[in-house]
Amino acid sequence: MPQNKYNSTLSGNPQSATSQQYPNGNPDAQYNTPGVKNTDSCVPLHPAGEVLHNYACDGPTAGNIAFKWIYGSNIAARNRDPRIQAVQYNEDTYILRQNVCVHWEAPFTYLLFGNRAALLIDSGATAEAAYYPLRAMVDAITTRWTQLRRKKSIPLTVMLTSGEDIAQNQGLKQFAGRPETVLAPTPLAEMKRFYRLSDSWPNGAARIDLGGRVIEAIPTPGAHKDGLSFYDPYTRFLFTGDLIFPGKINIGNDKDYLASLIRLKRYMQAHPVKWLMGGHVEMQFVPGKAYPRFATYKPYERLLQMEPELLDDAIASARQVVGKELALVRPDFILLNRVSPDQRTSVFPDGVPNITAPRPF
Amino acid sequence: MPIASAILSAESNAQTPEPSAPRRIDFKSNLPAPGSFPDRWICGSPSCMDNQDPPIQVHWYNDHTVFLRQNKAYSYEAPFMHLYFGNERILMLDQGFTQLSSDWPLRETIDDCISKWCARNGRKPEALELLLAFSHLHSDHYAAHNQFVDRPNTRYMGLTHEEMLGFWGMTNYPEERVTLDLGGRDIWIWGSPGHVISEFAYYDTYTQILYTGDMFYRGRCYISFWDKWFDSMKRLIAFVDSHPVTHIVGCHVEISQTGEDYPYGVTYQPDEAPLQLTVAELRKAFEVAKTITKPGIYFTGSVFLCNQTRATTTLDKNPYTYS
């Protein structure tokens, strides 16, 4: 009897993280999808010349976060995880997480490669290379990447989602004096000049051409007065730093915050987004619950990536907090406006299950 | 293998002279017994995983009194613990904020302190009863409790208000003051509610140190029940009016030398103020408390009185606010 109908409850493999709906791949999809062209073949034994990627693809390029992030340990002093967890999303896109027991902010930084340049978005919370060897990790990934592409070197630019944010600007010092490297300046006026946004801020966008892969920097003040988001049309990631991430979002200026979210919403109408990628994870995987600040053990963390629809919730929530001293709990984030970063609230969103995760020890 | 080690230990025992009848230590003369605090307690590090301090700092205040501190890279609460030796019993106050012995060796550390004290004073550890008590019913003060569950000659206070009162034989909490005799060394104990309902003040007649738990310490005194706390303060003031007190000691330090608040949960306090407080600082706090009529956070110069704010907020501000 022919069995044409695929049934994931019979054939699904829980070890696969490629897709929840089709854990072993979608049998109805084409075998030879357009995304294939974005990976160059390793078959030729002696390939000739430099490899160039075509970053103009239909839909987001293929890529996968197939692993759990490091999340600290009960006894921070005894943590032996890597100081930086580096995950290859695809050959040209890397996600780096700082060890929670080196710094509780445990920020994510993103390394993107194009045909002619590389871009590091954000630089982590720790300056000391002995504790947090970001430069060494970036150098090593870059070396490997240039070998894959048969290039001698690739220039690097380091840009920040906020120059003032000490949870993201500390690693910058490690790149001082690095050859072929440009560091985006951190003082607000110089930063605006650097991106040629002095006249248009907070409107407009700056183009960063990595060679076929053109990243756009979009002014998004609100959490920080110098906030920037970065859009990558290749992965269709929108890197949002502290503006929107699954955690306790401290609003620096509520009017700017709401305006930036609305600007992003408009931007996303013309620029499709697969995931919003923030700079941190503080939420737990139960809705509406965050880890406290300074926590060095976060075993029940929410995923890093956020669906683009989450922006609608953020906009609606931001409208509610404007002008108020308020901590507003949402399933995937908490907005803190004009209150202490340690502000608590007993108000929990209607209709959202109120689950308390067990104590982690 | 077990036989060989049994023989070995018998030999090593034979080399140690059998202690003569132990000298009875006098805990009642020449008071207060002098002692000292360390210049600096371990206070965490910029990167927790690079912390090289011991899991527990052990400080002998004098020959018969130990203060211990949990490493901040093991637990951000970094609570202090006390060990008071008497001729027949040992009182341990508080058992830290980490449960398992594989994570944090409190039992081993305490047994080591007891062995050293016994060796110096011609005692056998198994002959001394260990009393495990704690300041109040919060888990950062008893988490390692069960590391001692298989230790001989050891008594537990219990993790309910009823068991705690029963342990001290109290029938009129919080006013009733009981005397715990450790064998010539008296500890006075009475109720001190306010931070929580189940809290005690402990006064060691030998060092004349008054231990006030989380009800009064150099940090954020989270006052859950103002009236009860204020009554407890009145009891403390009446006590220091009528008894000599060398130091007042709490469970944590959360303030810098310059009076800066270290936010709740931090794992590095490089410029920490001392643990011990003076009687004058207690009196000053009481004067400030008299003026407090509503919930809020009040600084007395040495402690923050956080009146009914624990579930809402703390002192720190978002540094990135702009207009």
Please report, for residues B57, B75, B105, B309, the alpha-carbon distance to residue B143 in angstroms, rounded to integers and kept in the order given.
17, 11, 12, 25
Task: Determine the 3-state secondary structure of B55 from DSSP.
Answer: coil
pLDDT tens digits for range B123-173? 999 999 999 999 999 999 999 999 999 999 999 999 999 999 999 999 999
Provide the token pair at A152. 């001698």
Helices A254-270 and A310-321: angle between axes, nearest 10 degrees: 160
Cβ–Cβ of A76/B49 closer than 8 Å?
Answer: yes
Cβ–Cβ of B313/A250 closer than 8 Å?
Answer: no
pLDDT at A50: 85
The pLDDT-based confidence of B18 (bands split at 50, 70, 90) is low
pLDDT at A15: 57
pLDDT tens digits for range B65-84? 999 999 999 999 999 999 99
Concatenated DSSP letters for A102-166? T-TT--EEEEEE-SS-EEEE---S---TTT--HHHHHHHHHHHHHHHHT-S---EEEE-S-SS-T
pLDDT in single tens digits along all 361 residues of chain A: 566 666 666 666 655 555 556 667 777 777 777 666 666 777 778 777 888 888 887 778 888 898 999 999 999 999 999 999 999 999 999 999 999 999 999 999 999 999 999 999 999 999 999 999 999 999 999 999 999 899 999 999 999 999 999 999 999 999 999 999 999 999 999 999 999 999 999 999 999 999 999 999 999 999 999 999 999 999 999 999 999 999 999 999 999 999 999 999 999 999 999 999 999 999 999 999 999 999 999 999 999 999 999 999 999 999 999 999 999 999 999 999 999 998 989 899 999 999 988 876 6
E-state strands within A161-304? 181-183, 206-209, 214-219, 228-232, 237-241, 248-251, 275-278
Place of tokens 């920490």: B272
Cβ–Cβ of A132/B47 closer than 8 Å?
Answer: yes
Given a cut of 90, whether residue B320 has pLDDT beyond it is yes
- B322: nearest Cα among A256, A245, A261: A256
Decide: residue B221, CB within 10 A, 0-12 exposed, 13-18 middle, 19+ buried.
buried
pLDDT at B5: 42
Q: Tell me, what DSSP letter sits at residue B230? A: H
pLDDT at A19: 52
d(CA A15, CA A353): 28
Cβ–Cβ of A253/B103 closer than 8 Å?
Answer: no
Residue A224 with chain B: CB contacts under 8 Å: 320
Question: How many C-beta atoms surround the C-beta of residue B52 within 10 A?
Answer: 8
Residue B50 with chain A: CB contacts under 8 Å: 102, 130-131
* Nearest neighbour of A126 by CB, restricted to B47, B99, B312: B47
The pLDDT-based confidence of B310 (bands split at 50, 70, 90) is confident
The reply to whether A88 touches chain B by the CB within 8 Å rule is no
A335 near A305, Cβ under 8 Å? no
The pLDDT-based confidence of B316 (bands split at 50, 70, 90) is confident
The chain A residue lying nearest B312, using CA atoms, is A344
What is the ipTM for the molecules in this complex? Answer: 0.87
E-state strands within B7-160? 56-62, 65-70, 80-85, 89-93, 129-133, 154-156
* Nearest neighbour of B104 by CB, restricted to A75, A292, A345: A75
Residue B98 with chain A: CB contacts under 8 Å: 74-75, 361
The pLDDT-based confidence of B311 (bands split at 50, 70, 90) is low
B169 near B155, Cβ under 8 Å? no
Residues of B engaging A, defined by a Cβ cutoff of 8 Å: 46-51, 53, 55, 71, 73-74, 76, 98-100, 103-104, 263-267, 311-318, 320-323
Best to test chain B binding among A132, A282, A340 (most B CBs inside 10 Å): A340
The chain A residue lying nearest B44, using CA atoms, is A77
Place of tokens 């669906």: A307
The CATH superfamily of A76-337 is Ribonuclease Z/Hydroxyacylglutathione hydrolase-like (3.60.15.10)
Q: Tell me the one-letter amino acid at A295.
A: A
Task: Determine the 3-state secondary structure of A100 from DSSP.
Answer: coil
The reply to whether A129 touches chain B by the CB within 8 Å rule is no
Question: Does 3.60.15.10 match the CATH number of domain B52-307?
Answer: yes
Q: Tell me the one-letter amino acid at B182.
A: L
Question: How many C-beta atoms surround the C-beta of residue B25 within 10 A?
Answer: 17
Q: Measured over all CA atoms, what is the biggest interatomic distance in chain A, rounded to whole angstroms?
A: 72
d(CA A130, CA A134): 10
